[in-house]
Chains A and B, each alone.
Chain A
Amino acid sequence: GAVVSQHPSRVICKSGTSVKIECRSLDFQATTMFWYRQFPKQSLMLMATSNEGSKATYEQGVEKDKFLINHASLTLSTLTVTSAHPEDSSFYICSAHFPGGETQYFGPGTRLLVL
């Protein structure tokens, strides 16, 4: 149980295009999902907290108009990187909060390369 999927696993795009990443909880309902970014050899950096049916809460320094988050159902949250630039290249990972406890389960991550 507690499986989280994420798609795509890898994406290469041109500068200026938008990229959508999907995060799904496959066998449980997650009212809260989290989006992280991880640069090489660094820790996970929380970008935003995604709550089903309400607006996402963004961490300081993360542009909400650039990183659009939609949590339309209890099993799906999406992150759209708008007008991507090379500095947005990173490993993006989502996690879903398992209900009734504190545990977060992670998706496999999406490696984004912006040329």
Chain B
Amino acid sequence: GENVEQHPSTLSVQEGDSAVIKCTYSDSASNYFPWYKQELGKRPQLIIDIRSNVGEKKDQRIAVTLNKTAKHFSLHITETQPEDSAVYFCAASSSNYQLIWGAGTKLIIKP
């Protein structure tokens, strides 16, 4: 069935450095790729998304890139700050609006 693989499961970076999280998807019909940030005990918050007709999107310190041919997309966070510490989930969606979720990446920002 359709699935989304996410790596790494845990990522520890020094404050101020960049963090990159990668996902691959199996369904070639997927056309929407959101990234969510979830803090402990709270709801997932949409931080950035990209559609299949775009290769890259940036919003301040956050960027997402999409390679449709290889079926993978990545989240890039630059100049990381302590408040970036959270679990990040990638997801992929096709026409029925259901999201197929990655397993999550726990991002730890070391002071």
Which of B42, B97, B98 touches A109 (beta carbons < 8 Å)? B42
In whole angstroms, what is the CA distance A109 to B42 when docked? 7
**Complex: chain B residue closest to A2, CB-CB:** B46
A104 at interface by CB-CB < 8 Å: yes
**Complex: chain A residue closest to B9, CB-CB:** A41
Interface size grouping (class) on chain B: 20 to 34
A93 at interface by CB-CB < 8 Å: yes
Chief secondary structure at chain A's binding surface: strand
Listed in ascending order, the chain A residues whose CB lies under 8 Å from chain B are: 32, 34, 42-44, 46, 49, 91, 93, 97, 102-109, 111
Listed in ascending order, the chain B residues whose CB lies under 8 Å from chain A are: 31-32, 34, 36, 41-46, 49, 51, 89, 93, 96-99, 101-104
